[in-house]
Amino acid sequence: MKGTQRPGGHRGRGAGRVLGLLPAMVAAIGLTSTAALAVPNHGATSTGPKPRALSPASAVAAMQPSWNLGNTLDAIPDETSWGNPPVTKALFDTIRAQGFHSVRIPVTWTGHQSPTAPYAIDATFMNRVKQVVDWALSDGLYVVVNVHHDSWQWISTMPTDHDNVLARFDAIWKQVAAEFRDSPQTLLFESINEPQFDDAGDAQGIRYLDELDTAFHGIVRGSGGNNATRLLMLPTLHCNAGQTYMDALVGGMKSLDDPNLVATVHYYGWYPFSVNVAGGTRFDATAQKDMSDTFTGIRDTLVTQGVPVYLGEYGLLQYPDHTHPSRVERGEALKYFEQLGHEAGTAGVTTALWDPFSFLNRDTLRWRDPGLIAQIKSSWTTRSGTASSDRVFVPASSAITAKTLTLNPNGTSFKGLWQGGTRLAAGRDYTVSGNELTLTAAALTRLAGDRAYGTNATVEARFSRGLPWKIYVTTYETPVLSNATGTTGGLSIPARFRGDLLATMEATYADGSNAGQTGWTPYQEFNAAFSPDYPGNALLLTPDFLGALHDGAPATLTFHFWSGATVTYHVTRSGSSVTGTAS
């Protein structure tokens, strides 16, 4: 994936469509091989009894769960260019202690390699990569090394620069294979990240990718040593889990006739939900089906046919991002990660969390959101119950009424509601009818207290297993926006959010057509067209959105909030000037 730079960067183009694992199932259906793939002895030194050998499928299962060292050795131009500190041994100590069994170390070679023959890789950089890899291996972690952003920097030009691209690609792998020839079998090579080819259709792109993979395979195998049987990862085109791409990968693997191959794809969810565009504010039935269908396809096409699968990247394209307001509502993200762990485990897929910097703080080596990572970890082994929302909104001044949420037990059973160590009383504080949980008016009035704007109390819905579902009792009134003037360089609208939270923005012209840079939908992309500034009491319209408005044509904006409230606002662009008017 293209890295999320900080503080002002972005993730780039969406990843290909694609956690827990059932190792026994994977091993039972896995490929057999004479390769000795050692089980890492976590926490042990290199001395001691010889590790037992694993089949390729069992080795990939043993890699579950996995983590990506994103935006680091793949950063452009250097390791710290995208905001992360230099890698230390302590980082891998932390990853191992947190329960991860493998790490993917993306590497971008472009800026550290001569651009012309013999395409020599800078010795200092190669030594640094080797140092980082060896630190991870010494912690008993499996390690994946690849060719990363080179894919879009110059490999993508293969249709017009075929021979030079192939020669340069070959040169990388010849040097990498030689450097790591004697590294243990717990090191894996991945040929290329998210392969893409300029102005090439799928059929042509698949042919180019097959040519690169064939070259990669021949170079590594021919380099001898442990490379003769090392596990090699081959991606689909774009790392997309679409059926056409997976079928092509199966065909390519068969032609190589090598049992020590692993398939790799990526998954970042249903695109509108992953970035919050086109009204994709919730992990709804469409987003859930996209996930289920993707993992069913991976299982049926690859896993059940004996091909081990490593989900080399997963997450949401724009969440979490601690440098910007959250595009994805946290409860909806928790539901996404909870189901993803279940789907991947059922499919028998090993998963590698894409982490550019937003999950683990590389400076403190602590998780930025412990509750989020706890949900991800829990999903590796069990399901957790959730609900239709993690918030109940109550009015600041008018009478409070009962509120109902729909429980999603996910195979668990509901055990009750708690506020801290106090169990709420069924019948008095809440009622349950089927999967409908209703908090009574009396309980909400008590929980809301003095009804100051924002969250006044937190209760937990507990289930028979997994993590509890937190429900935030939140006091609000409909937000108020004021008139504003600005330029196409940006418009800051004074806003009193009054305890509410922004979900999305709809933009249309008087004739009903869509306004803004995302012309295929009236619901614009969160943070790309608009963004809340809660501390600054403002709602921001971006230069991209304002620059895309028709000159002299008033646009009607409808801001949708998580309470269910909507606020209408009007914006008119006149040349480079912009005027905003509250309804």
3-state secondary structure of 165: helix
Let me know: does 193 contact 147? Beta carbons within 8 Å. yes
Q: Quick one: tokens of 377?
A: 């970890």
Buried (b) or exposed (e) across 31-52, using 16+ Cβ within 10 A?
Answer: bebebebbbbeeeeeeeeeebe
CA distance 530 to 494: 13
Active-site residue, 179 included: no
Given 79, 179, 190, 194, the catalytic residue: 194
Take residue 351 and report the two structure tokens written for it: 């998963």
Q: What are phi and psi of 188, to 5 degrees?
A: -115, 150
Closest CA to 293 of 267, 331, 329, 332: 267
Closest among 564, 546, 385, 417 to 478, alpha carbons compared:
564
Contact 457/465 with Cβ under 8 angstroms? no
Where do the DSSP E strands lie in 87-185? 102-105, 142-146
Rounded Cα–Cα distance for residues 436 and 438 (Å): 6
User: Are 367 and 359 within 8 A, CB to CB?
Assistant: yes
> What residues contact 63, with CB distance under 8 A and at least 6 apart?
101, 102, 142, 310, 350
Helix 285-301 × helix 330-347 angle, to 10°:
20
- CB-based contact 413:436 (threshold 8 Å): no
Cα(231)–Cα(73) distance, rounded to whole angstroms? Answer: 22
How far apart are the C-alpha atoms of 221 and 228, rounded to whole Å? 5
- What residue type is assigned to position 445 of the chain? T
- For tokens 């896993």, name the residue: 303
Q: How far apart are CA 198 and CA 192, in angstroms?
A: 16
Instruction: Give the pair of three-digit tokens for residue 281.
Output: 């504010």
Separation of alpha carbons 402 and 266, rounded Å: 43
Residues 79, 313, 332, 477: which is the catalytic one?
Answer: 313
Length of the chain: 583
Question: How far apart are alpha carbons 345 and 90 in whole angstroms?
Answer: 29
**Active site includes 194?**
yes
Determine if residue 365 is left, alpha or beta; phi over 0 gives left, psi from -120 to 50 gives alpha, anything else beta. Answer: left
Map tokens 């790591």 to a residue: 180
Give me the helix-helix angle, 330-347 and 370-379, nearest 10°.
20
Half-sphere exposure of 294 (CA within 13 A, CB side): 28
Active site residues: 194, 313
